[in-house]
Amino acid sequence: LCYDSHMFTKQTHLESIYSTGAFLILRLNDEEETYQVAKAAIAGGMRALEVTYSVPGALNLVARLTKEHPDVLIGVGTVMDAPSAFAAYQAGARLIVSPHFNPELITVGNRYQCVVASGAFTPSEMVATAEAGADIVKLFPAEAVGPAYLKAVMAPLAHLPIAPTGAVNPGTVADWFGAGACAVGVGRYVSGAHRESGNYDDVSVATQTLLAAIAKARQS
């Protein structure tokens, strides 16, 4: 039997996140700025990103990015319910990210072979999220508790793929991965890297710096 990698769609998408250990959260107020940041981050090596629903023209942006970058996992964030998840899929998203636990949303993601990163905070929420079929348990809000909380949770729940979002930068990734993170969701460190200079090349540099720090953290 000859197996085509496309037969394993979800595994291929998950590899986009695990290959670098990161996904980028784009929560900006302008569609064109978000597009330019996304392009610069991809140029810097980012293989997975989410455009939050709060971005103007979010689904149009997703359609544009998926067409231009078929080798990158493009997703939608701040997905609140099943209809929003299906709309994201129809726009081309293959990554669905939510801030909370919604079983119907996870079901839709699994139905269409999308990677689902579903928000959870307490151990009970984390277990329920995994049992419902989420591929990644998104620790949110991570900045409120820090790596020490993740480390404590991972003691009994080491079998869960937990990814913190928030407070992620090159200075913190060693602590997050040391605590047991499977990946991290990065926001402002990369998405806002151009703000001071006005140069999107700074986004590419920030991406490279972050991914290098993650690679080093995962080796130790």
Active-site residue set = 50, 138
33's tokens: 């700025």
- Burial track 13-50 (b if 16+ CB lie within 10 A, e otherwise): bbbbbeebbbbbbbbbeebebbbebbbbbbebebbbbb
Identify whether 141 is preceded by a cis peptide bond (ω within 30 of 0).
yes
Q: In what order do the strands lie in the sheet with 22-26?
A: 162-164, 136-139, 115-120, 95-97, 73-77, 48-52, 22-26, 184-186
Q: How far apart are the first and last CA of the chain?
A: 39
51's tokens: 């455009």
- Burial track 196-214 (b if 16+ CB lie within 10 A, e otherwise): eeeebebbbebbbbbbebb
